[in-house]
């Protein structure tokens, strides 16, 4: 069963509205089981931050999800990416994990791999669906590293550090935690981020203005995925 996750109300509200035969499930977050275009899905609004994403992933698997796709917004880090472009994560790290005192690279969680990667087959399905949807609209769809931390980045200096240190394409607050949890749970995952801001001094103004557009594009992706993911 396809699992769909978003952190905020605007990232899930239109998908929720399109669900049929909805059951509200007990869990650590808003958790629904229903049908999207006749296909069974689990939808979670996990809440913001790494712990919430990990808790939601576990709850979704218990509810029957056999793969999880996160859709939401993020700040652009890599040069050349614009607001509205889409990053599909091909590598995940937590930029606020710091075990350097013990000789480990920045971004490494002790006892965990240095980074996480998505399931290749699910990644290909998601990437292909996004290109079909977004490129006719004039948006670039790229594969790139996504970094996560419990911080809303809104400083150009921090963006420059993230770019230099991690080679990141986008920064957000949940994706790497989902990657870590899904890895432990043995569940394929993918993370899609529509770039809502440049994670710099204008981020606070750009971010809320973009959410409605991102909500509609996230819904379009969800409908495209139910036609493909479970057949892949």
**Residue 1: burial class (beta carbons within 10 Å; 0-12, 13-18, 19+):** middle
Q: What is the pairing mode between strands 189-197 and 2-6?
A: unpaired
- Could you tell me if 6 and 215 are in contact, meaning their C-beta atoms sit under 8 angstroms apart? no
Phi, psi of 38 (to 5 degrees): 85, -5
For residue 22, give the nearest of 31, 14, 9, 13 by alpha carbon: 31
Phi, psi of 87 (to 5 degrees): -115, 130
Q: Which residue, chain included where needed, has tokens 């080679």?
A: 167
- Residue 76 and residue 69: Cα distance in Å, rounded? 20
Told to judge if 135 belongs to the known catalytic residues of this protein, a careful annotator would answer no
Catalytic member of 197, 200, 206, 220: 197
First to last CA, the chain: 12
Helices marked H in 74-193: 120-134, 156-166, 175-185
3-state secondary structure of 9: helix
Told to judge if 30 belongs to the known catalytic residues of this protein, a careful annotator would answer no
Catalytic member of 10, 11, 85, 220: 11
Which residues are catalytically annotated? 11, 197
């Amino acid at each position: 069963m396809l699992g769909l996750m978003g952190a905020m109300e605007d990232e899930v509200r239109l998908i929720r509205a399109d669900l049929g035969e909805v059951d509200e499930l007990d869990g650590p977050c808003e958790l629904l089981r229903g049908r999207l275009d006749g296909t069974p899905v689990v939808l979670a609004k996990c809440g913001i931050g790494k712990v919430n994403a990990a808790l939601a992933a576990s709850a979704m698997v218990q509810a029957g999800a056999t793969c999880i796709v996160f859709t939401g917004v993020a700040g652009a880090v890599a040069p050349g990416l614009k607001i509205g472009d889409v990053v599909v994560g091909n590598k995940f790290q937590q930029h606020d994990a710091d075990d350097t005192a013990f000789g480990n690279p920045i971004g490494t969680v002790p006892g965990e791999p240095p980074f996480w990667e998505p399931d290749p087959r699910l990644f290909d399905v998601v990437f292909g669906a996004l290109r079909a949807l977004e490129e006719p609209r004039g948006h670039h769809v790229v594969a790139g590293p996504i970094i996560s931390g419990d911080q809303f980045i809104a400083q150009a200096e921090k963006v420059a550090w993230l770019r230099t240190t991690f080679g990141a394409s986008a920064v957000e607050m949940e994706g790497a935690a989902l990657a870590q949890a899904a890895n432990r749970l043995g569940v394929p995952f993918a993370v899609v981020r529509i770039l809502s801001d440049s994670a710099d001094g204008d981020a606070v103004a750009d971010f809320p203005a973009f959410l409605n557009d991102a909500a509609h594009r996230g819904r379009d992706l969800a409908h495209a995925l139910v036609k493909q993911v479970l057949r892949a």
